[in-house]
Amino acid sequence: MLYQTPTTINAASIEALIGNTPLLAFRNITAHLPADVRVFAKAEWANPGGSVKDRAAANIIREAEAAGKLRPGTTILDSTSGNTGIAYAMLGAAKGYKVKLFLPANASQERVAILRAYGAELVLTDPLEGSDGAIRAVRELIAAHPDEYFYADQYNNPANWRAHYNSTGVEIWEQTDGAVTHFIAGLGTSGTLMGTGRRLKDYNPDVQIIALQPDSPFHGLEGLKHMPTAIKPGIYDEFFPDRQIGISTEDTHSMARRLAREEGYLVGISAAAATVGALQIANELVERGEPGVIVTLFPDNAYKYLSDHRVWGV
């Protein structure tokens, strides 16, 4: 037999590895549900940068290049809680762009280490101000030096939600053979919820789109926003979701441990929050005697959070 050269992808096209993530089922935490109520989650850690944010970052860069806003020698600038910044840094390294990021100083040490490994320039902002503090700081810089950077502006850039309209929503529809009845996602930039939700509504207006957010302005859900007290992203339409659910930090941390120990899914904090919300919807369907196919996504795995002893106790 002749040796077959394996398919290769060069660094500049690493974005070709983004998307088409697997749909996961559950064994134990859904064991109480009847056969006609099913829960699934997209394993977004399978993206090359390790999170769902690869999708948004790649499309923001792609659209900026097409519009002539991002050219060789330009520095990509944005605020981030971590994952989008990692995606910018990965793609910037692959494509030859410098990357400068503002992020809260209390971002997990793993995220900061990954960003520095990719060569990103970091500006750490007041941890008490969270992601909003990083947003304000980056806005001050771009206002003072508007021509020195490409400001990716993930919270207000429609390329963010369009990434999910063109990929995540399509994948969920195809992976469930059009049977999805509920889509649930946490609110950070809101791009995942808005883009995926719009695509699913285009396929079937009866699909319920459910937004998750922390139940308090003082919370431990890194990457998620309590919208009533936060800087609201420009891409977020608060009237679009069919329903809003508040998720507690305690329930989320408990679910993160359960997913690891009962399912073998070592997931990040926002993924655990999504599971709490998905099970709430599933239990409500059971109480009403209704069937359903509930899909959420796991934005990342837990490898960037293991230093948080409040969650893992390790």
Catalytic residue among 79, 81, 108, 270: 270
Q: Which residues have C-beta within 8 Å of that of residue 137, sequence separation ≥ 6?
A: 79, 102, 123, 125
Quick one: pLDDT at residue 12?
53
Residues of the chain with pLDDT under 70: 1-12, 309, 312-314
pLDDT at 252: 94
Return the pLDDT at 159: 98
Asked if 161 and 126 count as a contact pair (C-beta separation under 8 A), the reply is no
Which domains does the chain show, CATH number per domain? Answer: 11-51+168-312 (3.40.50.1100), 53-158 (3.40.50.1100)
Among residues 218, 212, 164, the alpha carbon closest in space to that of 187 is found at 212
User: Rounded to the nearest 5°, which phi and psi values hold at 28?
Assistant: -105, -45
**Mean pLDDT, all residues of the chain:** 92
Q: How far apart are CA 8 and CA 86, in angstroms?
A: 23
Answer whether 100's CB lies under 8 Å from 123's CB: yes
**Number of Cβ atoms within 10 Å of the Cβ of 72:** 7
pLDDT attached to residue 313: 64
Backbone angles phi, psi at 170, to 5 degrees: -65, -45
For residue 100, indicate whether it is catalytic. Answer: no
Catalytic option among 53, 100, 225, 304? 53
Q: Which residues are registered as beta bridge partners of 104?
A: 125
270 in catalytic set: yes
Q: What pLDDT score does 205 carry? A: 98
Give the C-alpha separation, 158 to 136, whole Å.
19
Per-residue pLDDT at 10: 61
- The model's pLDDT over 19-74, given as tens digits with 9 standing for 90+, comes to 999 999 999 999 999 999 999 999 999 999 999 999 999 999 999 999 999 988 89
Sign of the CA dihedral running 202, 206, 212, 215: positive
Assign 3-class secondary structure to the chain: CCCCCCCCCCHHHHHHHCCCCCEECCCCCCCCCCCCEEEEEEEHHHCCCCECHHHHHHHHHHHHHHCCCCCCCCEEEEECCCHHHHHHHHHHHHHCCEEEEEEECCCCHHHHHHHHHHCCEEEEECHHHHHHHHHHHHHHHHHHCCCCEEECCCCCCHHHHHHHHHCHHHHHHHHCCCCCCEEEEECCCCHHHHHHHHHHHHHCCCCEEEEEEECCCCCCCCCCCCHHHCCCCCCCCCCCCCEEEEECHHHHHHHHHHHHHHHCCCECHHHHHHHHHHHHHHHHHHHHCCCEEEEEEECEEHHHCCCCHHHHCC
Which residue's structure tokens are 């509504």?
201
CB of 224 closer than 8 Å to CB of 214: yes
